Amino acid sequence: MATSGVDYMRERAVAFQALRKRLTARYFVPGMALFLIAIAGSLLAIPESVQIVVFLVGFILMTVGAIKYRCPSCDRTPRDGDGIDFNPKSCGNCGAILRWPNEV
């Protein structure tokens, strides 16, 4: 019984890390890239209207990613104080282990 409980915790942590990787690749990295492009837009001679659109798309990507970024145990966003914890060892809300030792 104890073994299956540990297996369950490990599976949950591995699943969370897979989710975290997927969201980072699909939302957080593209979102940050668009923010940087929007900020650097004046240097790159990008028209202001395009900069605003790029910024908004980046903002939407980050927001959607943050909404999907949830603890598999309590279904709430892992938090670090007031902000989102993007690399949590455990859930700040329910204490579930979210990063298993020796697992990527």
CB of 3 to Zn ion, least distance (A): 23
Interface with Zn ion (CB under 5 A), residue from 61, 65, 73, 88:
73
Q: How many CB atoms sit inside 10 A of residue 13's CB?
A: 21
For the CA atoms of 41, 42, 46, 50, the dihedral, rounded to the nearest 10 degrees, stands at 70
Count of residues near Zn ion by CB under 5 A? 7
Instruction: Assess 84 for contact with Zn ion (CB under 5 A).
Output: no
User: In terms of CB distance, is 61 or 73 closer to Zn ion?
Assistant: 73
Instruction: Assess 94 for contact with Zn ion (CB under 5 A).
Output: yes
Instruction: Assess 90 for contact with Zn ion (CB under 5 A).
Output: no
Positions in the binding site for Zn ion (CB under 5 A): 71, 73-74, 91, 93-94, 96
